[in-house]
Chains A and B, each alone.
Chain A
Amino acid sequence: GDSVTQMEGPVTLSEEAFLTINCTYTATGYPSLFWYVQYPGEGLQLLLKATKADDKGSNKGFEATYRKETTSFHLEKGSVQVSDSAVYFCALSDQGGGNKLTFGTGTQLKVEL
């Protein structure tokens, strides 16, 4: 079945540091890929998505590129801020499966001054 593997947390960075959160996936079809973010005390919000190979999703300075050859969708940001502290979830959706999402375990990010 489909699965998503993302790097273990927590990740602690200083403000303005470069962020990478690795995500790889296994899927039988041609999934769409997502990054969701959960800020403290809030629900999940879609951060960015990519629906086909080589697509790059971007939002709020975050980027991720759909790499079919390496089955990866790594999240990057050039300069993190304290306000980026949250839990980040990588997920995939196999359209043939009714668009249900398969999530990774989540990576907690803490950004310090």
Chain B
Amino acid sequence: EAGVTQFPSHSVIEKGQTVTLRCDPISGHDNLYWYRRVMGKEIKFLLHFVKESKQDESGMPNNRFLAERTGGTYSTLKVQPAELEDSGVYFCASSPGTGVHEQFFGPGTRLTVL
């Protein structure tokens, strides 16, 4: 069974540009999470989807970040316009159903804003 995949693996953009990150969760997993690790600090929660609905977006830094999950399958995270402080590694994770389940993480997308 395929794991969580993320695309691209690396992205280098100029300040003010737009970038879209994609996450494909494990098939059948209702829960999809986005996290971010900035500058070697702790990994921080961004938001949580249950199927196509945003369950919790309390970790989104500001309105330059927009996340969607089409049809409850893959998810995109758009940053527009990107700022220097957005640089970091963006992780996606998925888990099945309800209750305390292991979250399966993707390899991450390393975003560098110049």
Asked if B35 and A98 sit within 8 Å, CB to CB, the answer is no
Asked if A100 and B45 sit within 8 Å, CB to CB, the answer is yes
A101 in the interface (beta carbon within 8 A): yes
Q: Contact mask A74-98 → B, CB, 8 Å, 1/0?
A: 0000000000000001010101011
B106 in the interface (beta carbon within 8 A): yes
Interface of A toward B, CB cutoff 8 Å: 4, 32, 36, 41-46, 49, 51, 89, 91, 93, 95, 97-106
Across chains A and B, which 7 residue pairs bring their CB atoms closest together, nearest first? A44-B105, A43-B107, A103-B43, A43-B105, A105-B42, A100-B45, A103-B42
Known: A36-B105, A44-B43, A44-B93. 19 other contacts (CB 8 A): A43-B3, A43-B4, A43-B105, A45-B105, A46-B102, A46-B103, A91-B43, A95-B99, A95-B100, A98-B50, A98-B56, A99-B31, A99-B48, A99-B100, A100-B33, A100-B56, A101-B33, A101-B93, A106-B42
Interface of B toward A, CB cutoff 8 Å: 3-4, 31, 33, 35, 40-45, 48, 50, 55-56, 59, 91, 93, 95, 99-108
